[in-house]
Structure 1
C-alpha cells in the first residue's frame, strides 16, 4: 500500500481470520499505520487493499500452518516408530 493519504480504509484479518475493514488515521513509523483508537498494523503484513486480498492472505497463512503441522506429525511418527522398534528389540 504505497502513497497513502490519511484517513484511508484497508482490510485486516482478525485473530479469528474474519476479514474486517479498518480506517487508518495516521502513519506510525516507516512500516506501520495506526487507527484512530490506537490499534497499530504492519503495512506489508497486516493490511490489504481489498477484502478478497485479505481472504487470499488468510488462506495462504492456513496452508502454511497445515504444512507446518504435517512436518511436525511426520517427526512425531518417526519418534513413535523409533520407540516401537526399541520396544520390540528389548
Structure 2
C-alpha cells in the first residue's frame, strides 16, 4: 500500500532530462509503481521527485554518467582511428 496522499504535486524528470511539474491525483495502473494525473497519464514513481532541487540533483547525476560514457566512447573511437591509420600507412 502506498504512503502517498492524493492529490499532490511532484516534479517529473523526463527521459530527455526535462523537468515538469505535475499534479497526481491517484495511483495509476500496476498498483503503487505508478501515479496518475487528472488527465489519466501514468508516471512511474521512480521518475517523480518531491522537490525541484532533488529532480535537478538526479538530472545532474545522470548527465555525469552520460559524460563518462561519452568519454569512454571517445577513447574507443580514437583507438579505432589509430588502428585504421596504421593499416593505411602500410599501403
TM-score, normalised with respect to structure 2: 0.84
Where does structure 1 differ by over 4 angstroms across 4 or more consecutive aligned residues? none
Aligned twin of 1:21: 21
Deviation at 1:39, TM superposition (A): 2.0
Deviation at 1:38, TM superposition (A): 2.1
CA distance in 2, matches of 1:65, 1:10: 25
Q: Specify every segment of 5 or more residues in structure 2 that has no aligned partner in the other structure, as ranges.
A: none
State yes or no: 1:75 paired with 2:91.
no
SS at match of 1:55: helix
Aligned length: 88
Deviation at 1:16, TM superposition (A): 5.4
TM-score, normalised with respect to structure 1: 0.85
- Residues 47-76 of structure 1 show CA distances to partners (whole Å, capped at 9, x for unaligned) of 001110011011111111111111111111
Q: Specify every segment of 5 or more residues in structure 1 that has no aligned partner in the other structure, as ranges.
A: none
Residue pairs, 1:1-90, within 5 angstroms: 3-14=3-14, 17-28=17-28, 29=30, 30-44=32-46, 46-90=47-91
Deviation at 1:40, TM superposition (A): 1.7
CA distance in 2, matches of 1:38, 1:82: 54
